Chains A and B, each alone.
Chain A
Amino acid sequence: MKGFSQKLALAAFAVASLSTSAWARGYGAAGCGLGSMVFGSGNGIVQVLAATTNGSSGSQTFGITFGTSNCGGGGAAPTIKAFIEANREALANDIARGNGETLNGLTQLMGCTKPAQVGPMLQKSYKTIFPNTQVSASDIETSVTPIVKANCS
Chain B
Amino acid sequence: MIVSLRGAQPGRASRLARLFFLFTLSLLPCAGFGQSAPPVPSEWLRLLHYQKSLTGAWINDAGPQFFITEAGSKNPQAELEASIAELKRPGSDFHCKFPARAILLYRRDRTLPIRTGSCPEWEGFRNRLNATGVSLVFSSYYLNNPASAFGHSFLRVHRGRRAGEAHKPAELLDTGIGYAATVTTSNAIAYAFYGIFGLFRGDYTALPYYYKVREYADAENRDLWSYELALSHSELELLVAHLWELDRAERRYYYFSKNCSYEILAILEAILDPERPESGLLARLPWFVIPSHTLQSLTQEPGLVRSIDYRPSLRKQLEARLSLLAPEQKKQAKNWKEIASAPELGARVLDARLDWIDFDHFEDLVREKPEISALKQQALAARAQTGVVLQEVLLPSDVGPDPSQGHPPRRVQLSLGKVTSGSSFAELAFRPALQDLLDPVAGYPDSARLEFTEAALRVSDRVRLQRFSLFRAQSLTPISLVRMDPSWKVGVLHELPQGSRIEASGGLTLPVFGARVFGLAGGRLGGGTLSSIRPAATLELGLHYRLGDRWALLASWLGLTSAQGWSEELQVSARLHLTRRVSIGAELRNGLAWQAQGFFYF
List the interface of chain A (C-beta within 8 A of B): 1-13, 16-17, 20-21, 23, 33-35, 37-39, 42, 44-46, 48-58, 61-67, 71-78, 83, 86-87, 89-90, 92-93, 95-99, 101-102, 104-105, 108-109, 113, 119-120, 123-124, 126-127, 130, 132-134
Instruction: Find out whether the CB atom of A93 lies under 8 angstroms from the CB atom of B471.
Output: no
State whether the Cβ of B157 lies closer than 8 Å to any Cβ in chain A.
yes
| Centre residue among B291, B370, B384, B452 by max chain A CB count within 10 A | B384
Instruction: Find out whether the CB atom of A33 lies under 8 angstroms from the CB atom of B366.
Output: yes
Given A44, A49, A97, A132, which contacts B389 in the complex, CB threshold below 8 Å? A97
List the interface of chain B (C-beta within 8 A of A): 121, 124-125, 128-129, 146-147, 149-152, 157, 159, 165-167, 169-173, 175, 177-183, 185-189, 191-192, 195-196, 200, 203-208, 210-211, 214-215, 218-220, 243-244, 246-247, 253, 255-256, 259-261, 288-291, 347, 351, 354-355, 358, 362-363, 365-368, 370, 373-374, 376-377, 380-381, 383-385, 387-391, 432-434, 450, 452-453, 470-471, 473, 492, 502
**Which B residue sits closest to A37, measured CB to CB?**
B211
Cβ–Cβ < 8 Å partners of A3 in chain B: 255-256, 288, 290, 432-433, 452-453
Q: Please, could you name 29 A-B residue pairs with CB atoms under 8 Å apart, sorted by A?
A: A1-B255, A2-B289, A3-B255, A3-B290, A6-B192, A6-B255, A6-B256, A16-B188, A23-B186, A48-B146, A51-B220, A52-B146, A53-B259, A56-B203, A63-B205, A64-B246, A73-B206, A74-B128, A83-B208, A86-B211, A90-B218, A93-B358, A93-B380, A98-B387, A98-B388, A105-B210, A108-B173, A126-B384, A133-B370
Beyond A93-B354, A123-B384, 10 additional pairs, beta carbon < 8 A: A4-B450, A5-B149, A9-B188, A17-B188, A33-B366, A48-B146, A55-B191, A58-B183, A96-B380, A105-B210
Question: Chain A binding site: helix, strand, loop or mixed by DSSP?
Answer: helix
Instruction: Find out whether the CB atom of B433 lies under 8 angstroms from the CB atom of A4.
Output: yes
Instruction: Find out whether the CB atom of B391 lies under 8 angstroms from the CB atom of A99.
Output: yes
Cβ–Cβ < 8 Å partners of B388 in chain A: 98
Distance (Å) between the CB of B152 and the closest chain A CB? Answer: 6
The CA-CA distance from A124 to B218 in the complex, in Å, is 26
The CA-CA distance from A1 to B385 in the complex, in Å, is 44
The CA-CA distance from A75 to B174 in the complex, in Å, is 8
**Which A residue sits closest to B362, measured CB to CB?**
A89
Given B129, B152, B383, which contacts A96 in the complex, CB threshold below 8 Å? B383
Cβ–Cβ < 8 Å partners of B157 in chain A: 75
The CA-CA distance from A150 to B456 in the complex, in Å, is 70
Instruction: Find out whether the CB atom of B256 lies under 8 angstroms from the CB atom of A34.
Output: no
Cβ–Cβ < 8 Å partners of B210 in chain A: 78, 83, 86-87, 102, 105
**Which A residue sits closest to B127, measured CB to CB?**
A75
Distance (Å) between the CB of B191 and the closest chain A CB? Answer: 6
Distance (Å) between the CB of B368 and the closest chain A CB? Answer: 7
Given A65-B121, A77-B159: A54 touches B152 (CB 8 Å cut-off): yes
Cβ–Cβ < 8 Å partners of B218 in chain A: 89-90
Given B151, B175, B191, which contacts A46 in the complex, CB threshold below 8 Å? B191
Distance (Å) between the CB of A38 and the closest chain B CB? Answer: 5
Cβ–Cβ < 8 Å partners of A17 in chain B: 187-189
Distance (Å) between the CB of B137 and the closest chain A CB? Answer: 13
Instruction: Find out whether the CB atom of A74 lies under 8 angstroms from the CB atom of B255.
Output: no
Given A9-B188, A34-B215, A75-B128: A89 touches B159 (CB 8 Å cut-off): no
Instruction: Find out whether the CB atom of A132 lies under 8 angstroms from the CB atom of B377.
Output: yes
Instruction: Find out whether the CB atom of B365 lies under 8 angstroms from the CB atom of A62.
Output: no
The CA-CA distance from A54 to B178 in the complex, in Å, is 9
Cβ–Cβ < 8 Å partners of A126 in chain B: 380-381, 384-385
Given A37, A64, A96, which contacts B384 in the complex, CB threshold below 8 Å? A96
Given B146, B207, B363, which contacts A39 in the complex, CB threshold below 8 Å? B363
The CA-CA distance from A5 to B220 in the complex, in Å, is 17
Distance (Å) between the CB of B193 and the closest chain A CB? Answer: 9
Interface Cβ pair total, 8 Å cutoff = 283
Cβ–Cβ < 8 Å partners of B211 in chain A: 34, 37-38, 86
Instruction: Find out whether the CB atom of A1 lies under 8 angstroms from the CB atom of B192.
Output: no
Cβ–Cβ < 8 Å partners of A5 in chain B: 146, 149-150, 255
The CA-CA distance from A76 to B383 in the complex, in Å, is 34
Instruction: Find out whether the CB atom of B433 lies under 8 angstroms from the CB atom of A54.
Output: no
Instruction: Find out whether the CB atom of B256 lies under 8 angstroms from the CB atom of A20.
Output: no
The CA-CA distance from A64 to B215 in the complex, in Å, is 19
Instruction: Find out whether the CB atom of B146 lies under 8 angstroms from the CB atom of A51.
Output: yes
Cβ–Cβ < 8 Å partners of A1 in chain B: 149-152, 255, 259-261, 290-291
Instruction: Find out whether the CB atom of A67 lies under 8 angstroms from the CB atom of B128.
Output: yes
**Which B residue sits closest to A120, measured CB to CB?**
B389
Instruction: Find out whether the CB atom of A39 lies under 8 angstroms from the CB atom of B189.
Output: no
Instruction: Find out whether the CB atom of A65 lies under 8 angstroms from the CB atom of B247.
Output: yes
Instruction: Find out whether the CB atom of B187 lies under 8 angstroms from the CB atom of A20.
Output: yes
The CA-CA distance from A113 to B167 in the complex, in Å, is 7
The CA-CA distance from A143 to B282 in the complex, in Å, is 51
| Centre residue among A2, A4, A46, A113 by max chain B CB count within 10 A | A2
The CA-CA distance from A38 to B214 in the complex, in Å, is 9
Cβ–Cβ < 8 Å partners of A8 in chain B: 471
Cβ–Cβ < 8 Å partners of A130 in chain B: 377, 380-381
Instruction: Find out whether the CB atom of B121 lies under 8 angstroms from the CB atom of A108.
Output: no
Instruction: Find out whether the CB atom of A39 lies under 8 angstroms from the CB atom of B366.
Output: yes
Cβ–Cβ < 8 Å partners of B289 in chain A: 2
**Which A residue sits closest to B177, measured CB to CB?**
A64
Instruction: Find out whether the CB atom of B219 lies under 8 angstroms from the CB atom of A38.
Output: yes
Instruction: Find out whether the CB atom of A101 lies under 8 angstroms from the CB atom of B203.
Output: no
Given A9, A74, A87, A127, which contacts B192 in the complex, CB threshold below 8 Å? A9
Instruction: Find out whether the CB atom of A2 lies under 8 angstroms from the CB atom of B288.
Output: yes
Cβ–Cβ < 8 Å partners of A58 in chain B: 183
Cβ–Cβ < 8 Å partners of A104 in chain B: 170
The CA-CA distance from A71 to B387 in the complex, in Å, is 33
Q: Which 5 A-B pairs have the closest CB atoms?
A: A16-B188, A126-B384, A98-B389, A9-B192, A51-B147
Instruction: Find out whether the CB atom of A72 lies under 8 angstroms from the CB atom of B207.
Output: yes
Instruction: Find out whether the CB atom of A89 lies under 8 angstroms from the CB atom of B358.
Output: yes
The CA-CA distance from A67 to B244 in the complex, in Å, is 11
The CA-CA distance from A132 to B381 in the complex, in Å, is 10
Given A126-B380, A127-B381: A4 touches B128 (CB 8 Å cut-off): no
Cβ–Cβ < 8 Å partners of B170 in chain A: 101, 104-105, 108
Given A90-B214, A133-B374: A101 touches B172 (CB 8 Å cut-off): yes
The CA-CA distance from A4 to B389 in the complex, in Å, is 45
Distance (Å) between the CB of A141 and the closest chain B CB? Answer: 16
Instruction: Find out whether the CB atom of B206 lies under 8 angstroms from the CB atom of A64.
Output: yes
The CA-CA distance from A25 to B149 in the complex, in Å, is 26
**Which A residue sits closest to B124, measured CB to CB?**
A67
